[in-house]
């Protein structure tokens, strides 16, 4: 399976081979990977080459190293299909997982510049700031800070923030959520957020900003999220 006369670097061939084994399920999450020495002997390649392949798989979140024990296959990443404007609660329920929230902050404050701009309101206008750790089966997946105009949307409480905001907007307030614009950027976790998401310094995250609009074009929410990049990936269908 490793072709030494191919122009494709050997480390890359090995990396792809291990990725396929993970994707096809012959290596499952939690499985211990063969050691560097075993791979080197099996494929008659150098340990340096094996190390390079494994390092790339570690950086892409497919496997992780545990000091003194070895390298293990990571949990499968959640795939969110992008054109669907779904809520965290819906996404997790669809996967058969139990969503929950830990409230980090619930406050009402004058809109910061960036928030006022996104929500199309004045800086002095009050907004709800709702910061939540979003968990799936009690595992923290993301840290999400939502801003909503207080003048437009009345009645959000801490109790509601512990559940689904979209359900409150749609089922209780009968609002029609219509579309959103979303920005996705890669980064590394900062020191304040790493504890909340159970991550380590330097771990990769996806920073997501979403502005969601009602059917009459009014901005409903401006949301800044930090998603664990080792657990999440986004999929989009494209047509030409
Ligand atoms: C998702 C949305 C977020 C929205 C939230 C509502 C992304 C990146 N963000 O997390 O914008 O506010 O769902 O979830 O998908 P909820 O209805 O469960 O509170």
Spell out the alpha helix ranges (H) of the chain.
10-24, 36-43, 47-59, 88-94, 113-119, 158-161, 165-167, 191-196
Q: How far apart are CA 196 and CA 59, in angstroms?
A: 21
Q: Taking all residues of the chain, what is their mean pLDDT, rounded to a whole number?
A: 91
Q: Is 87 in the pocket of ligand 1 (CB under 6 A)?
A: yes
CA 224 – ligand 1 centroid, Å: 10
Structurally, the chain folds into a number of domains equal to 2
Give the range of the structural domain holding residue 67, as residue numbers without chain letter.
10-73
Residue 158: inside a domain: yes
Strand partners of residue 139: 136
> Are 63 and 57 spatial neighbours (Cβ–Cβ below 8 Å)?
yes
64 lies in the same domain as 148: no
Q: End of a domain among 28, 57, 73?
A: 73
Q: What is the mean pLDDT of residues 213-221?
A: 96
* 61: CATH: 1.10.10.10
164 lies in the same domain as 210: yes
Q: Is 169 in the pocket of ligand 1 (CB under 6 A)?
A: no
Helix axes 36-43 and 10-24, enclosed angle (nearest 10): 110
Q: End of a domain among 73, 88, 105?
A: 73
Question: What is the value of pTM for the model shown?
Answer: 0.75
CA 72 – ligand 1 centroid, Å: 31
ipTM for this model:
0.97
- Is pLDDT above 90 for 202? no
56 lies in the same domain as 111: no
Residue range 68-127, pLDDT digits in tens: 899 999 877 776 766 788 999 998 888 788 999 999 999 999 999 999 999 999 998 999
Residue 2: inside a domain: no
Q: What is the distance in angstroms between the CA of the first residue and the CA of the last residue of the chain? A: 34
Residue range 34-70, pLDDT digits in tens: 999 999 999 999 999 999 999 988 877 788 888 889 9
| Nearest of 58, 59, 22 to residue 186 by alpha carbon | 59
Structure tokens, 11: 């480390």
58 lies in the same domain as 129: no
Residue-level pLDDT at 136: 87
Q: End of a domain among 24, 52, 73?
A: 73
Residue 5: inside a domain: no
126 lies in the same domain as 218: yes
83 lies in the same domain as 16: no
Residue 1: inside a domain: no
DSSP secondary structure string for all residues of 115-128 = HHHHHT--TTSEEE
Sign of CA dihedral 119, 124, 128, 133: positive
Q: Is 74 in the pocket of ligand 1 (CB under 6 A)?
A: no
């Amino acid at each position: 399976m490793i072709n030494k006369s191919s122009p494709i670097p050997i480390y890359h061939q090995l990396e792809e081979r291990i990725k396929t084994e993970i994707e096809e399920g012959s290596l499952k999450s939690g499985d211990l990977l063969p050691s560097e020495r075993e791979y080197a002997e099996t494929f008659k390649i150098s340990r340096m080459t094996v190390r390079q392949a494994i390092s790339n798989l570690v950086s892409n979140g497919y496997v992780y190293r545990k000091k003194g024990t070895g390298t293990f296959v990571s949990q499968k990443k959640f795939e969110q299909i992008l054109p669907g404007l779904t809520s965290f609660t819906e996404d997790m329920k669809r996967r058969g997982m139990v969503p929950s929230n830990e409230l980090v902050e619930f406050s009402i404050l004058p809109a910061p510049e960036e928030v006022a701009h996104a929500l199309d309101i004045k800086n002095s206008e009050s907004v709800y700031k709702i910061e939540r750790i979003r968990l799936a089966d009690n595992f923290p997946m993301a840290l999400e800070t939502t801003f909503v105009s207080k003048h437009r949307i009345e009645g959000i409480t801490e109790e509601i923030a512990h559940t689904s905001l979209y359900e409150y907007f749609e089922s209780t307030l009968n609002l029609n959520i219509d579309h959103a614009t979303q920005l996705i950027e890669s980064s590394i976790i900062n020191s304040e957020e790493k504890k909340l998401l159970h991550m380590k310094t330097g771990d990769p995250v996806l920073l997501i900003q979403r502005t969601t609009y009602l059917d009459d074009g009014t901005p409903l929410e401006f949301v800044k999220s930090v998603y664990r990049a080792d657990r999440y990936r986004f999929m989009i269908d494209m047509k030409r």
